[in-house]
Chain A
Amino acid sequence: MTEMRKEDTVKLISAEGFEFVINKEAAMVSQTIRNMLTSPGSFAEAQHGEVTFPEISTTILEKICQYFHWSLQYASGKETEFPIEPELTLELMMAANYLHT
């Protein structure tokens, strides 16, 4: 993976405590996360940008991070398919609803 600056990343933490460090731009595909990162006034850890999702399992959160990156690529012209395993569908949809993605 290419070297990413701390300021450009945000850490998403799953229910089980698994940490995903991803690009901020990717994370902001989620309107909810975007709102949090761009709120007026500052958050205590505006510098660190850590968000915990006690409702979202590691598997789903991982899939969601993949979705963020896929979404950015799709928007920039790379029109590929996003594979979703059928057993993940329901949970994924609920998480997407929650994250406003």
Chain B
Amino acid sequence: MAAPSEEIEIEETQEEIVPEIRPCKPARSNISDIKNKNKRKKLCIELKRKKRTEKIKEKKDRKKEAKRLGDDAPPKKQPHTIESLREKDETMVDDEDDELEQEEATDTFASYFSKSYVPKVLVTCSDNPHTKSIAFIRELCRMIPNSQPMWRKRSSINKMIKRATANGFTDVVIVNEDKRIPNGLLVVHLPEGPTALFRLSNPKLCKEIHRDHKEISGHRPEVILNNFKTRLGRVVARMLGALFHYEPEFKGRRACTFHNQRDYIFFRHHRYEFKNQERVKLREMGPRFTLRLQWLQQGAFEGDYEWALKRHEMETSRRKFFL
């Protein structure tokens, strides 16, 4: 209160205009307000250096603390990953869920999991396939036990489905080709089962991994389905698993893996060997490709779309995944 009155007095007496004392603002609120590029650059570098030193110091302190506390030390901080920051999906399920079990006991794959039939798979391609597609189909047939490759002969999918059901097939796999390489996979589960279209990318044949296809034995492989967390993911996983025989021959030590990461399903085929109880040695054989689900339809190539990838609506968030 003294200050303003003083000012006023001074003003009155001296008849000078003294500017009011206002609280000081920092010279700049943001480095980007500086117009001079050189100066801006320097300040920016300084700032970064400062931040870095602070970070290192913090880390050291944390380490010291941890050492000091020993067992009581707080757990190590985990860095953020896209998986850890994933948007919570309502349909995420744990493995043991009563509701889930009940539903899965009555869905279309229940008959597979109750071991009531042996899957018989028909593998085919589009019209006029090129070399790579043909080779890919041959490899697929080597992978999937009890599978049969066939030429397309310009038949429509609906007709194919009818004929396949008549001949006792349980699944149809159609490899779509574009620009001389396979780029799509349509999996139809036959007795009225769901249909799924996948986009296939990075197909690599045995030859390209420098492995001889003759190393693949005829044993039925085990199937490993990793990381399918949501309901939709589970349906897809069961679908892919139902292509293989329900009882693998462990003697063959073959494992086919479908690993889901951020909605990309990576397929690998390995031969494994247990070195001891803590170590496994893997030798990759056979084809390798990645799948990306485009849509899932309820009937055998007809019916409602249970799920479809609509880019605009669904790809706005980088932390949202559906499988």
A and B found bound together: no
